[in-house]
Chain A
Amino acid sequence: MTAGAPPVTPPVTPIVTLRGVSRTYPSGTLALDRLSLSVEPGEFLTLLGPSGCGKTTLLRLIAGLAEPSDGRIEWSPDGGARRLGFVFQEPTLMPWARVEDNIRLPLMLAAVSPAESAARVGEAIAHVGLEGFERAYPRELSGGMKMRVSIARALVTRPQILLMDEPFAALDEITRFKLENDLSSLAHRPRLTVLFVTHSVFESVYLGSRVVVLSPRPGRVAAEFRVDSPAPRGEAFRTSSAYLEACRQVSALLASAMDLPLTLAPSPSGGEGTRPTSDAT
């Protein structure tokens, strides 16, 4: 478990646990340094960190797209084959395929029967509010709509865990707010487990039930923060004092995380103790 996890955490089996995971790039740069983290079922975990702290690398390791140089990634034994959905920074759609065919892709690759996949694609389209755009091509859609297609494609396999890599970073604020609201209720309804990477303090607090703050490269867990406001959250939460106070505290944690490498530098062997302890509300 993560150091300093608050006592309110129920004793549940995490979906995935990272134990001392390090990742060194072929160039020799250390991207992640002995990072430990566990994702519990049903939580919306946001990973907050500055650019280049290895957030994307972390998601790729969890997704199995890269191997850790050191440490272990353990999955909960139940559920058999692990199902995960991945949403990239860019919508990453096939431009030659219609919306419905883009969303169907994971099912097609898994050779799911046409009847079953038609039902699941319809369900995913309804979830992200893309009804009426099934036959459209990606280039006919706005950035926000493309991202909805990308999310629908990730949901269509009914994943145990949804990995999202700064999916809204390239969108305008109005579209982003709308997608954040929708994602918040989306994740709440069938109780999705989400691991959401972001470099925005506001986004991490707005969406997350737990915010994990990463240090600059090499990335490691610097602090964590529990956001107790119930999900799904809406515009009312965005202007509430609880939200603003949480943002202020997470900002402070991030600011001290940014200083972390400097305090660590003189004593790389005993760095563990100089970490700010996690802060729970």
Chain B
Amino acid sequence: MRRRNHLLAPALVGLVALAAWEAVVRMEGIPPYILPGPILIARTVVADWGTLFPSLLVTLAITGAAFLVAAVLGLALAVVFTQSTFIERAFFPYAVILQVTPIVAIAPLIILWVKWIPLALLICAWLVAFFPVLSNTVLGLTSTDKNLVDLFRLYGATRWQAFRYLRLPSALPYFLGGLKISGGLALIGAVVAEFVAGTGGAQSGLAFRILEAGYTLQIPRMFAALFLISAAGVLIFALLTGLSRVALRRWHESELEPGD
């Protein structure tokens, strides 16, 4: 019952907002090249599916690849960083610098240096996505229950055993939290990089479709592409939330059913 309300409430808000949007567009007679109504956008999604869907796949491929690399490398770097405070102190500031430098500013350079565009896009998306995994996992690996650490020492656990059976599982909720943030950021990174790259031809993603539609004043198609990007972002978030729930539901506070 409660769960159904969780879905019902936002769905209702969405429906009301869409209806209001449609009503305003119709009553004010706003032309579609300024602001198309949701019905027209939905029709455009269907009508332009042949163009938009391949672009969606291109963007999703870059996003997915960047996300996977971010997850694997973020985890690996976190493990390396937590092996010694020297390594962490020496390298962590550079990870922060990479994170805080706006991707829009570095993307042109990366696209200039890396000749193969998909790889350049992947690097941009990865740069945006990897930091949450890194910082969250570092936090997780270093916030192990001190008594459990003592317990492992007491029973003569090797460094590897303490890592595999204590620190890694302790860090799992943090790692998964990092993934949830990274998933959305990978998509943003991919779209921003596509904007900067402005690739044309068969290998163009949704951002290029938006640019293209903007140039040719096909505003409904622009909105349709935008809608697909948002939908992809929501889908990624839902998938990662599901993953986190499956992995943690038996033991972690964050995934307990209400009233449990």
The verdict on A137 contacting B154 (CB below 8 Å), with A92-B148, A94-B169 known, is no
Pick the residue among A94, A97, A106 that contacts B155 (CB under 8 A).
Answer: A106
Cα of A94 to Cα of B172 in the assembled complex, Å: 13
Does B156 belong to the interface (CB within 8 Å)? yes
User: Across the interface, do B151 and A92 meet the contact criterion of CB distance under 8 Å?
Assistant: yes
Does B252 belong to the interface (CB within 8 Å)? yes
User: Across the interface, do A109 and B152 meet the contact criterion of CB distance under 8 Å?
Assistant: yes
Cα of A106 to Cα of B251 in the assembled complex, Å: 21
Does B3 belong to the interface (CB within 8 Å)? no
Q: Which residue of A lies closest to B172 (CB)?
A: A96
Leading 8 A-B pairs by shortest Cβ distance: A92-B147, A106-B155, A95-B251, A109-B155, A96-B251, A96-B169, A109-B157, A88-B147
Contacts of A94 in B (CB 8 A): 148, 165-166, 169
| Chain A interfacial positions (CB closer than 8 Å to B) | 60, 63-65, 84, 86, 88, 90, 92, 94-97, 105-106, 108-110, 137-139, 157
Q: Which residue of A lies closest to B147 (CB)?
A: A92
Contacts of B166 in A (CB 8 A): 94
Contacts of A137 in B (CB 8 A): 250-251
Q: Which residue of A lies closest to B152 (CB)?
A: A109
Question: Told that A88-B151, A92-B147, A108-B165 touch, could you supply 18 new A-B pairs with CB distance under 8 A?
Answer: A65-B150, A65-B153, A86-B150, A88-B150, A94-B148, A96-B169, A96-B252, A97-B169, A105-B155, A105-B165, A106-B155, A109-B152, A109-B156, A109-B157, A109-B161, A109-B165, A110-B156, A139-B251
Contacts of A60 in B (CB 8 A): 150
User: Across the interface, do A86 and B145 meet the contact criterion of CB distance under 8 Å?
Assistant: no
User: Across the interface, do A86 and B151 meet the contact criterion of CB distance under 8 Å?
Assistant: yes
The verdict on A64 contacting B154 (CB below 8 Å), with A92-B148, A96-B172 known, is yes
Max chain A CB contacts within 10 Å: which of B151, B153, B161? B151
Contacts of B147 in A (CB 8 A): 88, 90, 92
- Closest chain A CB from B246 CB (angstroms): 13
- Closest chain A CB from B206 CB (angstroms): 39
Contacts of B169 in A (CB 8 A): 94, 96-97
| Chain B interfacial positions (CB closer than 8 Å to A) | 145, 147-148, 150-157, 161, 165-166, 169, 172, 250-253, 256
Contacts of B151 in A (CB 8 A): 86, 88, 92, 105
Contacts of A138 in B (CB 8 A): 251
Contacts of A105 in B (CB 8 A): 151, 155, 165
Cα of A96 to Cα of B169 in the assembled complex, Å: 7
Contacts of B145 in A (CB 8 A): 92
Max chain A CB contacts within 10 Å: which of B147, B153, B166, B172? B147
13 contacts between A and B (CB under 8 A): A84-B154, A86-B151, A90-B147, A94-B165, A94-B169, A95-B251, A97-B169, A105-B151, A106-B155, A108-B165, A109-B156, A109-B165, A139-B256
Cα of A180 to Cα of B157 in the assembled complex, Å: 30
- Closest chain B CB from A254 CB (angstroms): 27
Contacts of A95 in B (CB 8 A): 251-252
- Closest chain B CB from A85 CB (angstroms): 9
Cα of A96 to Cα of B170 in the assembled complex, Å: 8
- Closest chain B CB from A232 CB (angstroms): 27
Cα of A157 to Cα of B256 in the assembled complex, Å: 33
- Closest chain B CB from A166 CB (angstroms): 13
Max chain A CB contacts within 10 Å: which of B153, B155, B252? B155
Q: Which residue of A lies closest to B173 (CB)?
A: A96
Pick the residue among B154, B156, B157, B250 that contacts A65 (CB under 8 A).
Answer: B154
Q: Which residue of B lies closest to A111 (CB)?
A: B161
Contacts of B148 in A (CB 8 A): 92, 94
Contacts of B250 in A (CB 8 A): 96, 137
Q: Which residue of A lies closest to B247 (CB)?
A: A96
- Closest chain B CB from A68 CB (angstroms): 17
Contacts of A90 in B (CB 8 A): 147
- Closest chain A CB from B61 CB (angstroms): 34
Cα of A140 to Cα of B253 in the assembled complex, Å: 12
- Closest chain B CB from A116 CB (angstroms): 16
